[in-house]
Structure formats: C-alpha cells, structure tokens
Structure 1
Amino acid sequence: MAYPEIKKINYNPSLKGLAEIYPDIVFSLAQRNGTKMTIISPQIPEDSQEKYPCIVFVQGSGWTFPNIYYQIPQLSQLAARGYVIATITHRNSLEGYQWPACLQDVKTAIRFMRAKSVEYHIDSDRIGIWGTSSGGNLALLTGLTSDDPKYRTEEYADFSDRVNLVVDCFGPTDLLKRKARLDNPTPADIALAGGNPRENMDVFIDMSPFYKVKEGLTYPSFLLVQGNKDELVPYEQSINMFHKLCDCGADAHMIEVNNGPHEGTFWSQELLDMIFGFIMKRL
C-alpha cells in the first residue's frame, strides 16, 4: 500500500510565534483588593536572556472598570510577535475614586513593568502605551506627562513612567468641547469631577490631552486612530489633537477608519496590522 507522504518540520527551540498568559497580577495596592493586570508574553525558553519591548494596554470603560478580556485575542497576536503586553485595570470612578486616580494607576502599571523587567524579560528602554476610548485618553495623557509628580504615587517611585510611543484609538481629547456630556453628565463624569462638572471644570481641563501639548517639549511618537462615524467620541476630537501635536513638532500620525463606529466594526485585521506595524517600527 502506498501511504501519503509524511511531512516533516523542524522543532522550535526559541518558541518563536507562541504566547502565554499570566492572569490576575496585582500591580498596585491603592485599593483594598489590589489593582490587577493580565500579562500576555511571548513564550520564553527557561535559559533565555532575551529582553522584549512592552506595551501597556488600557481598555476603554468610561473611566470606570476596564474589561481586560475584550482585546486579549487581538493583543495575543502582538505578543506572539515578540512583545510583552500588560492589559490593565484601574480604579473605578463609580466606587468613589476621583480624578486622577485612574491616570495614577496607569502610570503605576508602567513603573511596575520596569520594576519587574527581569522577571518578565522586559527591555525597560522600550515601553509603549495603547488605549481605546477612555483608555486612549489615559494613554495620551501618559505620553504627555512623563514623570509628572502630580500623577505619581509612592509605589515603585524609583522607576520612570516615561513611554516611547502612544497609540490612541478614539479617545476623548478635549472634554470642554463635549457640551452634551457637560450638560447631561454621566454618573462617572460626576464621580470623576467630585460633583457637577460645570462647577469643577478644572478637572475636565486636566483630563483633556489637547491642553497638555506644549511647544518646545520632547514627546513620544503618537498614532491616533478614529472612525469617522463614531457615535460617542466625535471625529473632530482626534483630528484636532493630531493637528496640535503636529503643530508642536511631535512625531504624530493618524489613521481614519471610514464608516468606523466606536468599537465593534471599527476593528479589522487590516487596522490591527497597521497598528502593529507602527509599534514594531518604533519600539
């Protein structure tokens, strides 16, 4: 009898192209039960000394509590390409944590990754941040306020929260221009501001990346991604931010998703590959 040919391939001693997940890692004790992240890492041979670039990812949540599982399948693609990904939670405004608690947590997570760089094989000189919606807002603010003591906690205080690049997907950039939200604030808006936002405008100014951009400063690279049919965050929020970054000399780039809404069909493999390409070129 003639048998079908047996196909042979080589084994994979470097574990290249494979990823693994480390769930429920406490990176901050700013709240009673701890603030957690999930790390998606390349599979690394036990004797490896290789270090990998790192991306901290912040899922949008309206500044409440991120669903870290939403993008894990997509982020795993990037981990398989040789990146350590930390998809993080932060303190929930609806549980009484006012601004800037959530931004402080994001910056603490970055310092944590640097503090644990040996354990997780991270190259501390190559760390970026990627966020969606409110997470995109926090990503932009992180990139624009490197090591600002206003947003620093005592946890891992010897480490920097500086990032090399920022990817923002449909994040609000100018909260003063969101008149409908100011006139009809959500419970999260009220919680963040510690009251009526109209009476606490300094908080919404501080939460607006648009007003953080200054000429003459050195910033990381930025990629802004926005759908032109976004029903929650107007397209103009991203285009105005993009123009301001460019006007101030930042290395800024933008992708417009035609007919793209807020999440859902906004996403495609084509878009993910473009974002991955931006990250891989600069990190």
Structure 2
Amino acid sequence: MTPGPGHITWPPPELAVPPVQLPPTEPVTGSDDVRRYDGLSYATNSGYRARLLDLSVPPAAEPPGVVVWIHGGAWMEGDRRHPPPTVSADLLFGSLLRAGLAVATIDYRHAREAPFPAQLHDVKAAIRYLRHYAGQLAIDGTRIGVWGESAGGHLAALAGLTGAAHPSLEGAEGIAEGDTTVAAVVDWYGITDVGALLPDRPGPDDPFVTLLGGEPADRTSLAAAASPLNHGGAPAPPFLLMHGTHDTLVPIEHSERLAELLRAAGNHAELVAVPGAEHIFLNADVGPLVARSVAFLEHHLRP
C-alpha cells in the first residue's frame, strides 16, 4: 500500500542503507602548530546522538602515537572536553601534546541512553575510527593508548583487556570491523569489580544498576562481564593504575586486585597509591601524577 500524502516514513528510501562513517573534516591549525579536529562523528545510530571525538595532533617529523582520553562521570554524565575539576585541560591534554603525542577525547553513550556494553562498544568504535583514518589524520594507528578516570578508567581497563576473544564486547558501531587492541592503559581510580559495588537495595538513580540494565536476576552475570577483574588473566598491554588511598567512592582495593591479577598473568602492571587522596585525587598534588602518566604513555607509544 502506498503511503498517502503527508505520511512520513523513516528512514526515507535514500537513507535506508547506512552510509559509510563520515570521514574527517579539515583541521584548524593554531599558532602552536597543533592541528585540531573538533567534533568528528565516529559512530551514529538512528535515535541516538552522534558520538563525537576531538583530535589534536602536535607538529612532528613523523605521525605520532595517539592517546584516547575517556571521561568519567559514573557512566551517567561527563563530557569529552572537560577533565575532572582537580586537573586542568591544559595540564592534562597539553602535557600529552608537549610530549609529542596526539590526543583524542571521546564522548560515549551514557547509561540512560543505553546499558552496558554500549559504552565499551563506543570506545572500541573510536579506536577503529582512528585506525581507519590514521593516514588522513597523519597519526600512527599502530600506536594507540587509552587513559581514563573513574568510569572512564573502568572503560579504559576493559578496552585494554578485551579483544577478538570477546566478540560480544567488540560491537559494530561506526566502522564495524577492525583492530581495537591498544598498546598501553592508564587507569585512574577505575572500578574493576562492578558486582562488589552493586547495592542491595538500589534507588532509581543508582549508576551501577542503570549501567547494567536488565532484571535483578541478570545483574550478577552482567556485572561479571562488565568487570575488568574477570578479563585480567590473559595477555594484556602495560597498565599504569593510580588510586587514592582514601578513596571512599571506589576503594583502592579495586586497583590493587587488578594489578595483582595482571602481574600473576605475566603482564606489566604499575600501581601508584596516592597517599590521603580521595576520589578524583582530591587532597593530592595532581601535577606529578599527570607527569608520571604522560611519561608512561610516551614510553610505551614510542615508534
């Protein structure tokens, strides 16, 4: 039956086949000679906001390695452009650029938009996008590291620990196929055992329940899949974990247990316990922590 006048169907026939992911736009080069790509759309789905990334590429004799920054916010909020309030964008992103590394800051679907593993699927889609267009972006797609804080640290750890052996966690967002392995992981106070933080009687806004979705009976298995501790026994890239000793939101035991598991499996894992620091490194001098994180990434992302 032919739709009558005024009847709208979606998608219209000319859009029925999803287009190839949009290629990068032209960069803007600043007075510092850094090429900046703002708002690159790395994945789209009908009914969702486009997932965007910003990429800054420093001047270099050869394509630089890339660090993907993953923001925190309990998987419920946050923005690719803004680090936690304890560290400035210039200190965080500027330090990476001054070390000769490109920086990609990414947005991902929040838990109310889609439950896990949508957030990890988006991280992996961003990695595929950067690799696919590495030549056009003049970056080295073979040298990609991830760095995240809190919920972003959780996703960074998962990105480092899951790969082709976990097809359900790869996703097919954006550029549907490609290598999503990373060469190094920096995890600032990330959750490694989701089940340990699930409340017995969750409220309607509990971030862990919102992240997992599903029925209560399914949450144990969903929490297991979402926990880096359940993926840390296999070969993994080098890890640097940093965690405050007085973190009351995500106890330091989360990082301690993951570091121990990684080392037991023969992987390189450094753990930095930050004395007296709360979550987001409140009560700590963040400058040296940024410097050590950047040095770790620079070392492991060298040509």
Query: Structure 2 length normalisation: TM-score?
Result: 0.80
Structure 2: give runs of 5+ residues left out of the alignment.
1-29, 84-88
Partner Cα distance (1:224, 1:138) in 2: 13
Residues 227-266 of structure 1 aligned to structure 2 (within 5 Å): 227-265=244-282, 266=284
- Contact 1:182/1:197 (8 A) holds in 2: no
Moved more, 61-70 or 137-146: 61-70
Task: Kindly state the Cα deviation for residue 143 of structure 1 after the two structures are TM-superposed.
Answer: 0.7
Task: Find out whether 1:153 has 2:172 as its counterpart.
Answer: yes
Match for residue 268 of structure 1? 286
Do structure 1's residue 134 and structure 2's residue 151 form an aligned pair?
A: yes
Residues 18 and 270 (structure 1 numbering): CA distance in 2 closer, same or farther, change over 3 Å?
Answer: farther
1:67 Cα offset (Å): 1.9
197, 201, 207: which one aligns with 1:183: 201
Is the CA contact (8 Å cut-off) linking 2:70 and 2:156 kept in structure 1?
A: yes
Matches within 5 A, 1:38-77: 38-43=54-59, 50-71=62-83, 72-73=89-90, 74-77=92-95
For the aligned residues, what is the CA RMSD? Answer: 2.2
| Residues 1:80 and 2:98 aligned together | yes
Report how far residue 43 of structure 1 moved: 3.9
- Does residue 169 (structure 1) correspond to residue 184 (structure 2)? The answer is no
Structure 1 segments unaligned to the other structure (5+ residues) = 1-14
Deviation of 1:114 after TM superposition, in Å, equals 0.3
1:54-82 superposed Cα distances (whole Å, 9 cap, x missing partner):
11110111112332222332212211221
Q: Aligned equivalents of 1:91 and 1:100: distance in 2?
A: 10
**Partner of residue 32, structure 1:** 48
Indicate the residue corresponding to 2:296 in structure 1.
278
Structure 2 residue aligned with 1:8: none
Superposition deviation, residue 19 in structure 1: 3.4
Report the secondary structure of 2:119's partner residue: helix
Bigger strand share: 1
1:203 to 212, 222, 245: 222
**Take 2:100 and 2:256, find their aligned partners in 1: how far apart are those partners?**
31
User: Letter of the aligned partner of 2:67 in structure 1?
Assistant: I
SS at match of 1:140: helix
Distance of aligned partners of 1:223 and 1:197 in 2 relative to their CA distance in 1, 3 Å threshold: farther
Q: Is the 8 A contact 1:54 1:122 kept in 2?
A: yes
- 2:8 maps to none
Residue type matched to 1:211 in 2? Answer: N
Change (3 A) 1:182 1:21: farther
Q: Distance in 1 between matches of 2:149 and 2:220?
A: 23
Give the letter for the 1:248 counterpart: A
Distance 2:297 2:32 in 1: 17
Identical residues among aligned pairs (%)? 28
Cα deviation, residue 196, structure 1: 5.2
